Chains A and B, each alone.
Chain A
Amino acid sequence: MAVKTQLNGRKVYVVDGARTPFLKARGKPGPFVAADLAVAAGQSLLARQPFEPDVFDEVIAGCVMPGPDEANIARVAALRLGCGDKVPAWTVQRNCASGMQALDCAAHNIASGRSDLVLAGGIEAMSHAPVLLNLEMVNWLADFSRAKKPLHKLKQLARLRGKHLKPVIALLRGLTDPVVGLSMGQTAENLAYRFNISRHDMDAFAVESHRRLAAAQDGGLLDEIVTLYDTQGNYYQHDDGLRRDTDMVSLSKLKPVFDRKFGKVTAGNSAQVTDGAAWLILASSVAVKKYKLPVLGEIVDSQWAGLEPAQMGLGPAYAMAPLLQRHKLGIEDVDYWEINEAFATQVLACIEAWKDDVFCHKELGLKKALGEIPHERLNVDGGGISIGHPVGASGARIVLHLLKVMQREDARRGIASLCIGGGQGGAMLLERN
């Protein structure tokens, strides 16, 4: 009997993919807006394909905060990439999993027979997140432009106060849960408390993330990265958030940033605010045959899950479990894992949760604990803490990189997963033959 999947219909193949280096936000807007990143990654990817960009059935991109000139950024990217007027494009938003959502939508459309060849991915330029006027200022401006006579204008001018000038930093608001009011870092603190994860363990996890990325860079294991060129004569070939000199001593000096006095989550054991874009090409067997495309791997199934927003970092624990169950797999059947590192403590909490009989029984409806995901098979080339986490792009990055790892290690099965602000988890099951 066929294995049950939520991805019913035709097989969905990933044939190629590329991403930009992830560039750490350094206080000021970075050299590229989101659409520029999408175009740069896409141009390099499309240049090596045996087909022209206008044969895609659709283009789907995940992006949390496109710029003011980037409404439906997928369409902007598609047109700038030369896909032509006739290729439809749409943008999806599921916070930190937007990139994975784009892949999921593409996969479903291929499985159902609606599409044969889709460009899908994720984009985020967090350094370009808008700074907004506050509501009082907007009201003041409206009154000011309504005042017609000079005297009225003058009166209105006199009503301007310092508080009007306080900007709204969209990035900070975006990283705060809109319902329960906790910052993402505070939800991570919740998990550290609940699963009793020490500052030492978090920092050790972060050090290892940087060590693994450094090794991957030195070993040339990140060939999905394309070179980015800016307009000033600079070029970028590597994720520039990597800190080779990170160690326990330097990390231990950092102060908690979210629960300032008594917390454990620091900038050093959290994902970096970054800019980046990643694209994958998904194809049906029809397209694979027609254009003689090499198959990188197959998207077999996907799963979304919801949970309490204040515990959002546990999302992967909830999303990955049904995949194992549906396909009757144990932890040992999965060769490699990518769990996006939003926070060290959040990844560690997911591992702890799966080791816990009570959690697995009560929350996942299982008889007993699933077991322990082996560290040496999880995020083998680093993760969000060292690479960075451009929110809309990460979902696409981890799926692409997991496939690359599986190809390199000649592995059969992998699972990629992310936690999602607002209390969700998303996961994808990938296979290679």
Chain B
Amino acid sequence: MSTERGANERMLDPKVLRDDSRRRFLRDAGLGLGWLAALDLSGELSPAFAEGAPSNPLAPKTPPLPATAKSMISLFMQGGPSQVDTYDPKPLLTKYNGQHPPESFGNAQFQDGQFKTSLLLGTRRTFGKYGQSGLEISDLFPHTAPLADDLAVVRSCYHEGFTHSQAQFLINNGWPRIGRPSLGAWVMYGLGTENANLPGFVVLLQGGVRTGSAVYGNGFLPAIYQGTTFRSGSNPILNLKRPEGMSAQDQRQMLDSLGKISENYIEERQQDAELTARLSSYELAFRMQMSAPEATDISTESDETKKLYGLDDPNAKAASFGGRCLLARRLVERGVRFVQVWSGDGMNATDWDGHAQCDQNHLDRAKETDKGVAALLVDLKRRGLLDSTLVTWGGEFGRSPTSDGGGDGPSDKGGRDHNPYGFTTWYAGGGVKGGKTIGETDELGLRATVDPVHLHDMHASTLAMLGLDHTKLTYRYLGRDFRLTDVAGKTDLAAKLKA
């Protein structure tokens, strides 16, 4: 990365200056862009570019720091699961259920109301201790709970965004609005991908996304780093399916004819690398049409595996989530760098957005996801993939320990508002030593109080697990070297996760 060099060095060394300029030019012109540059079939670049030719920006790169994880699966619980009903038990909250919070807890702004004027809402869930570690997990997750010793539960996550889009952008892009690259895009930029025939950053959606696709977008990074949405079935990527009546052979014929008809055209244009790159992109597209359906074709999986992921679950959403988890494993297995699996379709009632009847909402969501999440961990482990795959579970924020006040007045709906001031995310695999909690919220579960982990710290640490230095993974845009963690971010979480 050019940006790893100090600005001064770049300024003074004319060669570097030139390289930098060339690199940017190549980027702008799209030369070598795509999952294609390394696959340049001709193997020849035009004489103009032979010297200092661009390397494939997606080629796998050795991480600059020691890495414990090679790939990552983010299990994204859209809407924001409640910490006090899942992984962060608060007996005091149950005790004071229905009362106003004590003055000593101060106040906090939620989306629909304020902390001090709302009534406390104790959990209706029962917590148990699991594994040798005795990690406390609620009865929402009977399948995940037995895997307690694999989970490092961070109870002290926090940030500043108390609405969905702001928070989803923060958690995924490190910035509360559109325009910045997502974590997955940064990871791709830093590490490239191991399977050139598949996108290296895949997003598996349930449905709608509150923030729109920018939340897994490339921001100002080149478009090759953006997340590609994959569906299960034979047509996993947009436009992957050939037109009605066109066989693979027919398409091969089209590509061959394209190659022939381009010969003179490119020859007359001094072997312009951009033009040959375009032909290569067709070859890659052709190969993707083979490899992507192969990756999504689960017919080769054993019945046991399918059952493990709950593909036979009569709850269609559970079966579908399980399918996405299985697909995530298959993709990581095939060298995909970063997979994000979504739960929730962007609407209150069907996300983890329990503004009303939070308990029922979470029971429903848990039934849809618990089996799939557990299966993913078990399956990764038995295939020896968990050690190199960092798995995270969490939403864009947590939920309030109080009843939702959104225009309801004193709520008897058992709803919970958004809470970015203290929430839970767990980490597993990829060098994480499980069976522990990190950090604490206060006695009511409102704010992170012990070892608070800001979202920039989460990002800095995640990058660190993958062997990337968040202060050096920069990209120059509009005159500034941008990074995922803006001007902040600490990596002590990574050390704690590994300890």
- Asked if A and B are interacting partners, one says no
Chain A residues at the B interface, C-beta cutoff of 8 Å: none
